[in-house]
Amino acid sequence: MRILTSIFLLSILLIAPITNSYAQQSSLYKAVNYMSSFIASDYFRDLSKTNNDLALTDTIYLRMLNYENYNYSEALFALTFAVIPYNAIQLNIPLINSIVTYKLPSAPDDIFTKKNENLPRRLFFDTPGDNYGDKDKLAHFFGSAFISYAQNIFDFGNLIGYFVEVFEQDFEIQNSIDIRDLQTNKLGNIFGEMLKKNKNLLPSQVMIFRSFLFLRFHI
């Protein structure tokens, strides 16, 4: 399980007791189910026949923005969970010597499976050639974008630093650091920051930076 997913899971666990709002939780689940159903649809699968995966990523983003009535922070937050290719995680908690399974906000199993099959996977020039590709990178991108965009709403600075340390050292979610995950996180941060000034910006316009940087240093 990628560290970003874990960070957001724990942020929800911290925020939920404070808000204690069923309506907010229900709103997140509805948004995740809506987007999962869209990605799982035959319509989206047909789009993939005539559009590349960066264009499909833009389509997903714009669709969620419309659903959330152009509330950018809520759209980015819901997208993070909608595109995660996992519906549960296992936390190894050494303090109580136990493994706890926590279910993430996700669509019903049949929709969840189809959504994962249709997720954009060819996002970068060095995407692995297997069928999985870069499916997990979308959650990294949109999650990091949410963190940057919502900094004026929530103070995530200390929260992120604390949980990275906790999950890497204590909960043992991830044993090694994936440099491509970190690079995707950075691109998401850039997107979130730029989005504050330019609401017309699209994910693909930032994701493609990675390819430009590669060409710059290898020509």
pLDDT score of 195: 96
Interatomic CA distance for residues 212 and 194, integer angstroms = 18
pLDDT score of 13: 45
What's the DSSP call for residue 169?
A: I
Phi-psi region at 172: left, alpha or beta (left = phi > 0; alpha = psi -120 to 50):
left
Question: E strands, 27-67, where?
Answer: none
* Spans of the chain, pLDDT less than 70: 1-25, 91-96, 152-177, 211-219
In DSSP terms, 93 is beta-bridged to 98
pLDDT tens per residue across span 89-108: 776 666 667 777 778 888 99
Measured between alpha carbons, how far is residue 58 from residues 118, 172, 179 in Å? 14, 33, 24
Whether the CB-CB separation of 94 and 170 falls below 8 Å is answered with: yes
- C-alpha torsion 154→157→163→169, nearest 10: 180
Report if pTM > 0.85.
Answer: no
pLDDT score of 169: 43
pLDDT tens per residue across span 130-161: 888 888 899 889 988 988 898 765 545 444 43
pLDDT score of 190: 92
